[in-house]
Amino acid sequence: MAKPHAVCIPLPAQGHINPMLKLAKLLHFKGFCITFVHTEFNARRLLSSLDDLQSSNDFRFETISDGLPPTNERGILDLPELVTKIQVDGQRSFRDLVTKLNHASSSDHHVPAVSCIISDGVMGFTLQVAQEFGIPEMLFFTPSGCGMLGYLHYEDLVERGYFPLKDESQLSNGFLDTAIDWIPAMKGIRLKDLPTFLRTTDSDDTMFNYNLQAVNIAMKAQGVILNTFDELEQEVLDVIKTRFPNLYTIGPLSLLQHHLSATDYLDSIKANLWTEDEKCLDWLDKRPRQSVVYVNYGSLVIMTKEQLAEFAWGLADSKYPFLWVMRPNLVDGGEEIISSLNFMEETKDRALFLEWGPQEKILSHPSIGGFLTHCGWNSTLESICEGVPLICWPFFAEQQTNCFYLCNKWGFGMEIDTQVERDKVEKLVRELMEGDKGKEMREKSKEWKKKAEAATTLGGSSITNFDVLIKQLKQ
């Protein structure tokens, strides 16, 4: 009997590729042949940071076009153009790929016909292709459940007159502090805590409408997968299930992967768009337990030179050692600030800067005492898995929603003001590392770590839901 063949296609951004790759490996472990789809641009980037994409007969990589020219850098400011172009060029290219895979299956016994498609929740244009070929498709939304619930209420924001904003002044006059008391399971939430694409006066805003369209398309899929666990977001998930009855919560995927024992071969398959620098682990080995602040703002966030300087000097003035992942495109001209003589003098022997690092290994290192983060969902879950408390500086999308839940519901996050000031950074770092609030957060994060472990071990909610998902996909 032919193996089931799953085609897995993430949005072409690091924070979407990583969880989709984890899910693909788990499906492979359960007997699926996998075709993992990168964009042509990202495949070229991956080959420059890795020697090989590690394709094999039953775990292969294919590419589609994203419709953008090679000169486009695909940064955060290019997202509207990317999501516009990929719906047309990506869909056409994806249709050609499915045709090619099914054609190959008739002549090559190593390539079974495509039996299911797992598409990123915001790559819903693939659903039309799936329907044309009669292939069942499930959508994997990579945000948190609370972030997803925020997007599910975008239509209500339009109907109730919150979107679009009446004028630009509403961005700064306190209007965003308006309490939104009509969303079930989101008690206490304000307009500014909902996914940020609503912050515009343009009713045709690309990103707002793209995300609104994505959740509406999802209604037509066979099911929705979320990288979260029931114990963390039960109230929110109960509401989402009223819209998506076939909801599979199977996270944290990194723990599920660990407990279901991936093979060495699968461990070797990576998809980092930057080269990981592991020398930091030796540096961490020389630091005392829970003494280091880890700083990483993810793969898309950009900041100003002024914000960078305030963060840098706040960390320096805290006197704690810190490990900072600073992508080359985090801030234009940031290296001048970091390499300035007095800053280097002030932080020598207690600061390390990397372009990209192995985040899960860093967070699991005993010397890490806290994490200054943008609150992306992958970073949040990875912190839960290691019991590490957070200082939150959310930037965009549903990061603000994650921050609200971290600080107000889950109890292991503290928010830093958007207008970064060094003395506030210093104060929060000290509170995190040595204050009473920091101790409380550390205890709370350990409790969540235990619950995440329980969810992904035998009899736990996520592993049970994963088994149901596998049965569904194999039918």
pTM across the whole model: 0.96
Q: Give yes or no for a contact between 3 and 238, defined as CB atoms under 8 angstroms apart.
A: no
Residue 299 structure tokens: 């793969």
pLDDT, residue 51, reads 59
The three-state secondary structure class of 67 is coil
What gap in Å lies between CA 380 and CA 69, rounded to an integer?
Answer: 33
Q: Give yes or no for a contact between 301 and 378, defined as CB atoms under 8 angstroms apart.
A: no
Residue 107 structure tokens: 């002549």
pLDDT, residue 419, reads 87
Ramachandran angles phi, psi of 428, nearest 5°: -65, -40
Q: Where along the chain do the CATH 3.40.50.2000 domains lie?
A: 5-146+201-272+455-474, 278-434
Torsion of CA 415, 430, 370, 282, to 10 degrees: 140
pLDDT, residue 261, reads 64
What gap in Å lies between CA 95 and CA 92, rounded to an integer?
Answer: 5
- Nearby residues of 336 by Cβ (< 8 Å), 6 or more positions away: 305
What gap in Å lies between CA 414 and CA 412, rounded to an integer?
Answer: 7
pLDDT, residue 339, reads 80
Radius of gyration of the chain (CA): 22
Residue keyed to tokens 């930091």? 280
Please name which of 123, 154, 159 lies closest in space to residue 20, comparing C-alpha atoms. Answer: 123
Q: Where are the alpha helices (DSSP H) in 244-304?
A: 253-259, 264-267, 279-285
**Cβ neighbourhood burial of 235 (10 Å; 0-12, 13-18, 19+):** middle
Domain 278-434 has CATH 3.40.50.2000: yes
Q: What is the pLDDT along the chain (475 residues), one digit of tens a residue?
A: 689 999 999 999 999 999 999 999 999 999 999 999 999 999 998 887 665 566 677 899 999 999 999 999 999 999 999 999 999 999 999 999 999 999 987 777 678 999 999 999 999 999 999 999 999 999 999 999 999 999 999 999 999 999 999 999 999 999 999 999 999 999 999 999 999 999 999 999 999 999 999 999 999 999 999 999 999 999 999 999 999 999 999 999 999 998 886 555 567 788 888 888 999 999 999 999 999 999 999 999 999 999 999 999 999 999 999 999 999 888 876 677 788 878 888 998 899 999 999 999 999 999 999 999 999 999 999 999 999 999 999 999 999 999 999 999 999 999 998 889 999 999 999 999 999 999 999 999 999 999 999 999 999 999 999 999 999 999 8
Give the CATH fold of the 5-146+201-272+455-474 domain: Rossmann fold (3.40.50)
Pairing of strands 5-9, 33-39: parallel
pLDDT, residue 268, reads 72
The Cα-based distances of 386 to 5, 26, 403 in angstroms read 33, 21, 18
pLDDT, residue 81, reads 97
Q: What is the DSSP letter of 190?
A: B
Pairing of strands 5-9, 351-354: unpaired
Q: Which residues are designated catalytic?
A: 16, 120
What gap in Å lies between CA 7 and CA 37, rounded to an integer?
Answer: 7
Beginning with the edge strand found earlier in the chain, give each strand of the sheet holding 59-64 in spatial order.
59-64, 33-39, 5-9, 116-120, 137-141, 224-226, 247-249
The three-state secondary structure class of 267 is helix
230-243 helix and 436-455 helix, angle to the nearest 10 degrees: 60
pLDDT, residue 191, reads 98
